[in-house]
């Protein structure tokens, strides 16, 4: 039986990188970038018209960041489950039934965390 597949859009990888540069500097950000490259995460680099429209739909429908609109669009495109700790951004979307979300931290234990974790573990899809 195949294992789960993990996905991340290059825009979300960019968010991870710039956040790491901001917090820890370029050298540490490069180390993080190299570690992410070793993970079994499929980085999607495509950005076609239909995907851009899907991102735009989610960005204008919910009060979410630009990068999180990519997470939501990618989840729809890949029929994937979002893996997140970000109740602030995704609770309303989950309540609306737009996404399936696997929460890494229950809301009662929620503490501020880096968007790196949220983006790096953006999506997974169970095997068919």
Contact 112, 89 (CB under 8 A): no
Which pLDDT score is estimated for 120? 37
Number of domains the chain contains? 1
Counting every residue, how long is the chain? 128
- Alpha carbon 67 to its chain centroid, in Å, reads 8
Distances 80 to 47, 86, 92 between C-alpha atoms, Å: 18, 17, 18
Predicted pLDDT at 123: 53
* pLDDT per residue as tens digits for the range 37-50: 898 888 889 899 99
Q: What is the mean pLDDT of the chain?
A: 79
Q: Range of 33's domain?
A: 5-125
Q: The CATH number of the domain where 100 resides is what?
A: 3.40.50.1010
CA distances from 89 to 15, 35, 53, 102, 115 (A): 15, 26, 20, 14, 11
**Model pTM?**
0.77
């Amino acid at each position: 039986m195949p294992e789960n597949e993990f996905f991340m859009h290059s825009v979300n990888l960019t968010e991870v990188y710039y956040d790491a540069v901001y917090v820890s500097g370029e050298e540490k950000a490069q180390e993080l970038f190299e570690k992410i490259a070793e993970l079994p995460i499929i980085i999607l680099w495509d950005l076609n018209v239909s995907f851009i429209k899907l991102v735009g739909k989610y960005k204008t429908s919910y009060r979410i960041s630009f990068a999180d609109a990519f997470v939501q669009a990618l989840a729809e495109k890949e029929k994937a489950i979002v893996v997140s700790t970000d109740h602030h951004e995704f609770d309303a979307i989950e309540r609306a039934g737009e996404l399936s979300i696997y929460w890494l931290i229950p809301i009662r234990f929620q503490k501020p965390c880096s968007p790196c974790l949220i983006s790096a573990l953006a999506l997974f899809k169970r095997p068919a």
